[in-house]
Amino acid sequence: MIIHSASFIQCSASLKQCPDPVKPEFGFIGRSNVGKSSLINMLTGFSHLAKTSGNPGKTRTINHFLINESWFLVDLPGYGYARVSKETQRTWGTMVETYLRKRSSLKAVVVILDIRREPNQGDLDLLAWLKGYGRRPIVVLTKADKLSRNQSRQRAAEIRARLEPVCATGAVLFSAKTREGREEIWKAIREATEVDSLPGRRP
């Protein structure tokens, strides 16, 4: 996919504050420190679109970026960040859950995992929740360049097997450094838009 324009529109602390749901949206979510900002920046080709930070848990709002004037890339707060208060974690959880459950323009959710880390209960719960509400997941395994090719393939197979009960769509190997997986992610995004646009499907 060719990205002609990408711009930050607004950050929202609740579903009610989000832009009107008149354009397709794709949510990006993952545990803290999985490389979400690097993934967004490399996918779009705008190196400073999403802010990267050495302090995990920086994203605390629902952030809308307008892509090609036609659809929204939505950067969602990470989960499982232990260095914020339990009250803050609950607030984030409620905000994100409401968005994922009720947002009518949401076409798919890109769930980001670090290939070097085992999926934890939070990852499994998120995917099970998406499955239960009929949301389409696109699982991306980041930081593939940190492992050898054989190691990354083995780890991908192990993670896919672990996720299979809650996600049957497989997983895309991705590296912000080598650009591996970029076209596969865009393909999955295009397919989600096309499937959702078929006659008889819920808008």
Whether residue 16 is contained in a domain is answered as yes
% of the chain at pLDDT higher than 70: 85
DSSP alpha helices (H): ranges in the chain?
Answer: 36-44, 86-102, 121-132, 149-163, 182-196
Q: Is the pLDDT of residue 139 over 90?
A: yes
> What range does the domain containing 121 cover?
6-196
- Alpha-carbon distance values, 196 to 25, 73, 99, 154, 191 (Å): 12, 16, 18, 33, 8
Tens of pLDDT, residues 16-50? 999 999 999 999 999 888 999 999 999 999 988 88
Whether residue 157 is contained in a domain is answered as yes
CB of 43 within 8 A of CB of 1? no
- Angle at 57 (CA atoms; ends 40, 131), nearest 5 degrees: 65
Give the model's confidence band at 201: pLDDT under 50 very low, under 70 low, under 90 confident, else very high: very low
Domain total in the chain: 1
Q: Is the pLDDT of residue 114 over 70?
A: yes
Angle between helices 86-102 and 121-132 (to 10 degrees): 30
Average pLDDT for 161-179: 94
Whether residue 42 is contained in a domain is answered as yes
- In residues, how long is the chain? 203
The larger pLDDT score, comparing residue 168 to residue 18, is at: 18
- Confidence (pLDDT) at 203: 34
- Confidence (pLDDT) at 1: 76
What CATH number is attached to the domain comprising 142? 3.40.50.300
- Confidence (pLDDT) at 32: 80
